[in-house]
């Protein structure tokens, strides 16, 4: 059987609690960062009416639901 003094038990408990707090903080931040990245990937701005649209389709060209204009995702501005 392992014999511990009260001091060792208290120090071990506090150390374990601190390690768990750091771990869960890291998991929470990682999850939030992934959610933000996913949201930004879906977000697009119409070039005609400047509405921000959340579009989950993977198509390169999407139609604005507000004005019906064709828009292209990404940095390519060939549609004007
Ligand atoms: Zn539009």
Give domain status of residue 1, yes or no: no
Give domain status of residue 37, yes or no: yes
Give domain status of residue 80, yes or no: no
Distance, in Å, from the CA atom of 76 to the CA atom of 38, rounded to the nearest integer, reads: 21
Question: Residue 19 sits in which domain range?
Answer: 6-72
Distance, in Å, from the CA atom of 28 to the CA atom of 19, rounded to the nearest integer, reads: 14
Question: Which tops the pLDDT comparison, 35 or 76?
Answer: 35
How many angstroms separate the alpha carbon of residue 66 from the centre of ligand 1?
5
CB 66 within 8 A of CB 46: yes
pLDDT digits (tens, 9 = 90+) for 21-70: 999 999 999 999 999 998 888 888 898 999 998 888 878 888 999 999 99
CB 61 within 8 A of CB 72: yes
How many angstroms separate the alpha carbon of residue 53 from the centre of ligand 1?
9
Give domain status of residue 16, yes or no: yes
How many angstroms separate the alpha carbon of residue 62 from the centre of ligand 1?
10
Give domain status of residue 44, yes or no: yes
pTM above 0.75, yes or no: no
How many separate domains does the chain show? 1
How many angstroms separate the alpha carbon of residue 79 from the centre of ligand 1?
14
């Amino acid at each position: 059987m392992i014999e511990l003094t009260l001091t060792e038990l208290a120090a071990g408990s506090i150390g374990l609690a601190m390690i768990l707090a750091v771990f869960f903080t890291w998991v929470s931040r990682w999850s939030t960062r992934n959610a933000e990245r996913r949201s930004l990937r879906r977000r697009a701005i119409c070039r005609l009416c400047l509405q921000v649209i959340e579009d989950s389709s993977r198509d390169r060209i999407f139609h604005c639901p507000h004005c019906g204009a064709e828009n292209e995702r990404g940095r390519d501005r060939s549609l004007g």
